[in-house]
Structure 1
Amino acid sequence: QLFESSSCTYTYVLADGASGDAVVIDPVLETVPRDLQLLRELRLNLRYAVNTHCHADHVTGSGSLVRALGGRSVISRASGARADVLLSDGDQITFGAF
């Protein structure tokens, strides 16, 4: 759990230690350098940058993370936003052993 103080939001990093696969949830544009550094220090491979919803309070950092590290952006189909993966109710994403 990583805190971004100007928008008072949290970003989450989930990782499978065995494979090194990682998912970043709700990344914030202003903290992309911090997130990139963390993923690189931990030798994690970004598989997905997930937005849980459209963010009116800050600009998402998903695109920047995906451009820098690869992986795919994810959001709900119902949001109307663009992403590499559009999820509907019941859909799942998998990474590593998860």
Structure 2
Amino acid sequence: MVKTGVPILRPEQRWECPNCELKQVTHEAKPHTRFHPCRGLKGLAAPMVPAGTKCKVEAVEREDYVGKELVTVDGESRPIMRVETTRDDGNDVAVFAPCATAGGGAN
């Protein structure tokens, strides 16, 4: 409660993961999304969704050649390109961009 006698509302957002049993609650007033290392997606960082949301969250394997790039892999060492959340009204994508490497040395 503030000094003026007006209570400050403490928002509560309930989150769940459709691929594992994890449930969490946050009290952040600003827009935000919770991520967690998901057991159902073999340890990948995956978004949680507001509780009760009908959706699917799935990992999408890289379809292109992986040379010397550093890529995100799942618990089975498969290279993963993105985690995609699909709902009836649209989708969200978390992209795992590969990192290039460079070597320094005399020719």
- Above 0.5 in TM-score? no
Specify the structure having the higher radius of gyration (Cα). Answer: 2
Higher relative contact order (CA 8 A, sep 6+): 1
Of Structure 1 and Structure 2, the greater helix share is in 1
TM-score by length of 2: 0.27
TM-score by length of 1: 0.28
Of Structure 1 and Structure 2, the greater strand share is in 2
